[in-house]
Structure 1
Amino acid sequence: MSQASLITLNLILAMMMFGIALSLKLADFKRVLKAPRGPITGLLAQFILLPLITWLLTLMVPMPAEVALGLILVSSCPGGSFSNIVTFLAKGNTAMSVSMTGVASLAATVMTPFNFMLYSSLNSDTAVLLTQINVPASNILVIVALVLALPLSLGLLAAKLWPVFAARSEPFFRFISLLTLFLFVLIALTSNWSAFIAGASIFLLAVIVHNAIALLVGFSSARIMKLNKADTRAITLEVGLQNSGLGLGIIFTFFDNLTGMAIIAAAWGCWHLISGMGLCFYWQHHDRKHGIKIASNKEVQCGS
């Protein structure tokens, strides 16, 4: 990919994060401090448990090194804005989901490069790839900071100084964020279509299993902490729906020649939309069937 294309893609990613920040307020971050149990549970599941379990998976299950590297990278990314939309539709704790997305995006400027480089180096197969490519962790850190931390900070500032602009333009930027994800997925798949078709069964199986694990990690963490249904749904979706657009941005910038890695991140970008909405519809059906209403983050049992 040309340098101009890489710059354009990273600018689009930055704009996506700017749009996410327009829906955030300082109160969202204060909310994490006032009621930390749920967000901390989700963030630990996101940045500690999921990368660790993914690394163990790449050690125990035979797979191509590029596939393993792609899974490790995706597991190191924060949740994306799509998780906020699905959490709202699933009657989860949307406020906490938005707060977690903001905090996780800031934390990802350090945790994403750290987890990716750490667990990639602890797998002998992926460590060889990293050695061959020779990408310093500092380079990934700079890119992640530029496409996450900087636009997120600017978006928060814009939301504070120009709230009317933020309110009116936030839906547009949310649309752009989803469009960006589809754009990145389309580029990755069309550029590597023959390889994807040749190994479709491996790629799809790896992504479906890994996504199921991510959702289970979020759900199990919340249930262990005995959180209510609204919080559990928010954490499940925040951990299970990754910002694969960020992963693809990193791949296009540093690992453009690793076909398998790009396909894994692109397939994740497609599949997590399906699994997220599927889980949302299941929860909606379950609530209707059992007469459960979830309002103000509290569960209310209706009828007998």
Structure 2
Amino acid sequence: MKTLEKVSSFAGNTFAVWVILFAILSFFLPGGFTWIAPHIALLLGIIMFGMGLTLSLSDFKAVFQAPKSVLIAVLAQFIIMPLLAYGLATIFQLPAEVAVGVILVGCCPGGTASNVMTFLAKGNTALSVSVTAVSTLLAPILTPALTLLLASKWLPVSAGSMFLSIVKIVLVPIVLGIVIRLLFRKQVEKSVAVLPLVSVIGIVAVASAVVAVNTENIVKEGLLIFAVVVLHNCLGLALGFVLGKLLKLDLRDQKAVSIEVGMQNSGLGSTLALAHFSPIAAVPSAIFSVWHNISGPVLATWWGKSDEPIDPPKDKRGKTA
């Protein structure tokens, strides 16, 4: 078990490397990865189940301890990224399916990798975990509604069908994971250390499958999509940070808000695109998955190396001791 835990830890720490490596492999050797495509929804369900196993009631404490920060981050998540996606799709005059794909990933909740990035960036990890959990639980309602509002200009959107898809592949697995953790806490805590390995394998498989079934589309539109995805992610990170600063959150919270806004659940975006639109609509999510696992670690490393002032201890009257 210890060996498996070490492998899991290594996989989690080198997550970005595996995403990039297998994205390249699947592009040049698509035949070895296309078989995964029919199982993407199942893979995402397993990832979400693993997320549920790691959640406990304490992860939602920040919602009550710092409701302002949680509310700001969740609202920013579902306002900044969708509007940025709509603006970029319009400005760059993207083809309809690509435009919908960009908007779809923008309307998804934050990704689980954001929690790790926030920790490495010396941000407020508890806030990050709470925001990811809350935004994910809101996704069945907000993701279809926002996609319908913003993407129907390009293609017809069935918000009801998307709602059912998200409930099945996100909400049900997460709730099941939380319930199992409550019922079998000791057994779950013994195995939770290997969950990063499961998540890495699942996310890498999803990204690889999407790339594999879209090699021709990536050759044709890849450079444009890549430029839009990079702008989308970088602007999201920057605006999240600026918003936190303007609203006078402390630096640790600013970092958490920035990363939560900028890093999306691109696996969910890929799954919904394949199920409700077309393979090319999943390309922005696949590229987003690769790119934000480059930008996230780079930003986290830069922030993590910065020296932050430590507040001196205070007595019960609030005065510096």
Q: TM-score range by the shorter chain?
A: 0.7 to 0.9
CA distance in 2, matches of 1:268, 1:217: 17
Structure 1 residue 57 displacement after superposition: 2.8
Asked if structure 2 preserves the Cα contact closer than 8 Å seen for 1:91 and 1:230, the reply is yes
User: TM-score, normalized by length of structure 1?
Assistant: 0.85
Query: Who is 2:9 aligned against?
Result: none
- The letter for the 2-side match of 1:263 is V
CA distance in 1, matches of 2:141, 2:196: 24
- Within the candidate set 254, 257, 269, 1:232 is matched to 254
For the pair 1:246 / 2:268, whether they are aligned, the reply is yes
CA distance in 1, matches of 2:262, 2:253: 14
CA distance in 1, matches of 2:201, 2:190: 18
What RMSD in Å do the two structures reach over aligned CA positions? Answer: 2.0
CA distance in 1, matches of 2:310, 2:231: 29
Distance 1:198 1:59, change over 3 A: closer
Query: Who is 2:111 aligned against?
Result: 80
Distance 1:76 1:14, change over 3 A: same
Structure 1 residue 293 displacement after superposition: 5.4
CA distance in 2, matches of 1:6, 1:64: 23
Distance 1:137 1:31, change over 3 A: same
- The letter for the 2-side match of 1:284 is G
Structure 1 runs of 4+ with >6 Å offset: 4-7
Query: Who is 1:101 aligned against?
Result: 132
Asked if structure 2 preserves the Cα contact closer than 8 Å seen for 1:50 and 1:217, the reply is no
CA distance in 2, matches of 1:200, 1:14: 28
Within 5 A, what are the aligned runs for 1:201-212? 201-212=223-234
- The letter for the 1-side match of 2:53 is L
For the pair 1:255 / 2:271, whether they are aligned, the reply is no
For the pair 1:62 / 2:93, whether they are aligned, the reply is yes
Structure 1 residue 212 displacement after superposition: 0.9
Query: Who is 1:48 aligned against?
Result: 79
Within 5 A, what are the aligned runs for 1:269-284? 269-284=289-304
CA distance in 2, matches of 1:151, 1:110: 16
Asked if structure 1 preserves the Cα contact closer than 8 Å seen for 2:84 and 2:232, the reply is no
Structure 1 residue 27 displacement after superposition: 2.2
Query: Who is 1:301 aligned against?
Result: none
Asked if structure 2 preserves the Cα contact closer than 8 Å seen for 1:82 and 1:178, the reply is no
For the pair 1:172 / 2:194, whether they are aligned, the reply is yes
Asked if structure 2 preserves the Cα contact closer than 8 Å seen for 1:192 and 1:263, the reply is yes
1:190-231 deviations in whole A, cap 9, x for unaligned? 111122123222121111111111112211221111111111
Asked if structure 2 preserves the Cα contact closer than 8 Å seen for 1:91 and 1:294, the reply is no
Structure 1 residue 69 displacement after superposition: 0.9
- Within the candidate set 139, 147, 161, 1:139 is matched to 161
Aligned residue pairs total 278
User: TM-score, normalized by length of structure 2?
Assistant: 0.81
Query: Who is 1:8 aligned against?
Result: 39
Structure 1 residue 137 displacement after superposition: 1.3
For the pair 1:266 / 2:286, whether they are aligned, the reply is yes
Identity, % of aligned pairs? 35
CA distance in 1, matches of 2:54, 2:185: 10
Query: Who is 1:151 aligned against?
Result: 173
Distance 1:60 1:199, change over 3 A: closer
1:71-108 deviations in whole A, cap 9, x for unaligned? 10001000111001111111111111111111111001
Query: Who is 1:24 aligned against?
Result: 55
Distance 1:158 1:68, change over 3 A: same
Structure 1 residues 202-211 or 157-166, which shifts more? 157-166
Structure 1 residue 165 displacement after superposition: 2.4
Distance 1:237 1:197, change over 3 A: same
